[in-house]
Structure 1
Amino acid sequence: MPDQHPPPRLWQAADRTGGPLDDVLDVLRRRYFGLVVHRLGKNHSADDDNVYFIGLGRNLDMVQVDTGPNGQPPFTVEAHARIDTDEPTEALAAIQDHLAVNAGDLPSALNALSGALGPAVDRDWSARADTLGWDCWHTAEHIGDVLLSYAAQVVARPTTRYVRFLASADTDATAAEVLEFALTGGGILDAAVRAAPPTLRAYHPTGMADAEGFAAMGCVEALVHGYDIAQGLGVDLTAPPGVCARVLARLFPDTPDTLADRDSWSTLLWVTGRVDLPGRPRRSEEWQWHGAPLGDS
């Protein structure tokens, strides 16, 4: 029976291959919070260990990168699809595509919102939503309004302002109906994002955002305000860890590296000022995310 490779070993920033893969990994480490790289283990010096696994935090959905000896081309990147290239820049682009907020992330966030709050529509939605000044009903209304607002930005693409409208639920809408309004806003944003070109840029106060950025913002609005409502109603909302990891990398690249080993959901709640973490008090209301694409100047 042939020897099996030992478990992959952590490949840290100080570890170097001597080839162009080092530059690729350096760019990724600067750009993405929580980036984790592992290198295939080996039993014997002659074994081929030029295989790397790249992901975000505890998210196990990793991209595999095969290289030539010493981090040299050719590169094979395997994630959503397989890409073979001799160009480090093309390998970098393929890895970034896998680490990006993807087409399934906003629906996953909305499903988490619906799954947590749908069974609680018979509770008292006039209760205060966690630490917000709003009650649960108006917080859900806010989710619908802001997600529709982001959809409008993606469609109209203004460069200096928001599209001038305000969306609201009927004042006599039930809890189930205002939750439906919030989920509908998310569905419209999702459709707008899927139809948008990668070159899209539109106004947001935190930077000229692309479609990925608006999708990531939509995930935060749904999950974090959903958490606020869940706290007010006395129910639990658990977010998809992969979604949280990609959103943190896209919108909060300055998150302290010391939090990279924590679960991504609690880290997202911390960066948005919802919870304390050990040794880190709750953040003030002055936090903000990074709206513009990370590669834009």
Structure 2
Amino acid sequence: MTVTAADLDVVLGCFDQALRPVVDRDWTRRAGDVEWDCRHTAEHVGDCLLSYAAQLVTAPLEGYVPLLATMEEGASNAQALDVALTGGRLLAAAVRTTGPDVRAYHPTGLADAEGFAAMGCVEALMHGEDIATGLGVPERIDPPRDVCARVLARLFPEHDVEGDAWQALRWCAGRIELPGRPRRTDWTWRGAPFGE
């Protein structure tokens, strides 16, 4: 099960579909359980995914490329959403053009293109859900379960949660509790490919 740039495209589509209809709402509201408001959370997604793209194209073996993407002051909510999507689309482009032997630094292990694609999916899904929750979007994010299953297999290979892959991914990422499973407060994913 491989996570691809196409999976990231699908996730970004879910992110956009859930949030584009509500760009007229108050994005200074807190985003779910995170410390940031919805605008800053969108900015964080864009910065994070752009940073992942930078890691892939530069391929440092130690540390992050010292790059920070920030939103221009006075940007509209629609532009804040575009910041997040731009970072994601640049990551997808980097994943498409990165060879299978390339490895780049991530604190959870030297990651390949698949790993960064999977991490990008988690960032967009979890923080998209945070923004949707903060804005009171009833449907929130509803990603395809096959994409969630591939991301789970790549980043959380030890997970033993059965049932809905989206709920399992949210639990693995410390977002929700499940019956008989308290919300995780100490968790990490696997950045490095299997066997490395």
Task: After superposition, give the CA deviation of every residue in 1:127-175 in whole Å (9 maximum; x if it has no partner).
Answer: 1111101001000000000000000000000001100111111121111
Match of 2:151 in 1: 247
Taking the aligned partners of 1:165 and 1:103, their CA distance within structure 2 comes to 22
**CA positional deviation for 1:103:** 3.2
Report matched runs for 1:138-287 at 5 Å: 138-235=40-137, 236-255=140-159, 257=160, 259-260=161-162, 262-284=163-185, 286-287=186-187
Q: Distance in 1 between matches of 2:3 and 2:176?
A: 24
User: Superposed, which structure 2 residues align to 1:125-136 within 5 Å?
Assistant: 125-136=27-38
Work out the CA distance in 1 between the residues paired with 2:5 and 2:66: 27
What's the CA shift string for 1:214-262, capped at 9, x where partnerless?
000000011111001111011111111111000000000111x2x12x1
- Extract unaligned runs of 5+ from structure 2: none
Q: Which has the higher strand share?
A: 1
- The TM-score, its normalising length taken from structure 1, stands at 0.64
SS in 1 for 2:195: coil
**Higher RCO (CA 8 Å, separation ≥ 6 residues):** 2
Amino acid at match of 1:172: G
What is the distance in 2 between the residues matched to 1:227 and 1:219?
12
CA distance in structure 1 between the aligned counterparts of 2:5 and 2:88, rounded to whole angstroms: 13
Q: Which amino acid aligns with 2:167?
A: S
Q: Deviations over 1:102-135 (max 9, x none)?
A: 2310000000000000001011101111110100
1:272-292 Cα distance to aligned partner (Å, 9 max, x none): 1111111111110x2110000
Larger proportion of helix: 2
> How far, CA to CA, are the matches of 2:144 and 2:74 in structure 1?
32
Runs of 4+ in 1 over 2 A off after TM superposition: none
Tell me by how many angstroms 1:269 deviates. 0.7
SS in 1 for 2:5: coil
TM-score by length of 2: 0.97
Q: The residue matched to 2:20 in structure 1 has which SS? A: helix
Query: What do you get for the CA RMSD once the two structures are aligned?
Result: 0.8
Between the aligned partners of 1:237 and 1:101, the Cα distance in structure 2 is 19
